[in-house]
Homo-oligomer: A and B are copies of this chain.
């Protein structure tokens, strides 16, 4: 695959029925707990393979660690957290690389397998499709506010449960259906990743703001004026191709620009299968999954409408 559609991972065909999915991702710590940091960083990297419809098989640690400032047991905890998610995914940890650094960074390079004719691009949405999102958004602003003590323990815990969840179940359930396009929502926010899907698919995505699932306290934080360092950039990336129709206050709009780590899958499926897909996801434990909009014929240069 080429780079034109900014897909979540690279695909390399090995044989008639085996293709490799390769992806790498690493992050600075969004939380203080090293084990949870490892879990989130690993889920974030592995989820790129699920976003392509693939199955992760082998992971490498990518670690930068301030060994003079922090005890090595902290690094061990990070790796233990990552290993818990690697093992849950059915993959193995095959090695990795660590360098000394002023500030910790951690992530994985992940190799997965997918059938070369059955992977899910992010660019196959068709007019008439319905859109499903499998996790709520808002983790970016929650992490930022948490540093300042502005997030309740309950909201923080709910956010961590969401982010440490692999998109494995979702991907396994979706494999039984006709998936036109799939991606996972990460750093560019819901708007950015929906924009890539819309542009790559040459459709207009209409997203219903009332339906977008949001994390506990995240909208209230935007209302109070909290934001992230990335929201402005994420808005700039899409604003020429997007409109907000509903006349929402600007702070409310920010939720679609909120950068996600280990976010949910955004999926475009035929309308005829939509209800069955959603029912299967919810019955299979992907309880936050919901419809958030539909794909339509493009209108001039417009790719996104938030209703």
| Chain A positions near chain B (C-beta within 8 angstroms) | 1, 3, 9-12, 14-15, 18, 20, 22-28, 57-58, 60-62, 64, 92, 94-97, 99, 101-103, 105, 107, 109, 111, 113
Main secondary structure on chain A at its contact with chain B? strand
Q: How far is the CA of A1 from the CA of B99 in the complex (A)?
A: 23
A209 to chain B: closest CB distance in Å?
Answer: 30
Q: How far is the CA of A62 from the CA of B24 in the complex (A)?
A: 7
By beta carbon, the residue of chain B nearest A92 is B12
Chain B residues with CB below 8 A from A57, complex form? 12, 20
Copies in the complex: 2
Chain B residues with CB below 8 A from A23, complex form? 60, 95
Chain B residues with CB below 8 A from A95, complex form? 3, 9-10, 22-24
Are B24 and A97 in contact, with the CB atoms below 8 A? yes
Q: How far is the CA of A113 from the CA of B19 in the complex (A)?
A: 13
Q: How far is the CA of A107 from the CA of B96 in the complex (A)?
A: 12
A14 to chain B: closest CB distance in Å?
Answer: 7
Q: With A24-B97, A26-B99, A95-B22 known to touch, is A109 a contact of B60 (CB < 8 Å)?
A: yes
Residue from A1, A3, A23, A27 with most neighbouring chain B CB atoms (10 Å): A23
Q: With A10-B94, A94-B10, A95-B10 known to touch, is A109 a contact of B22 (CB < 8 Å)?
A: yes
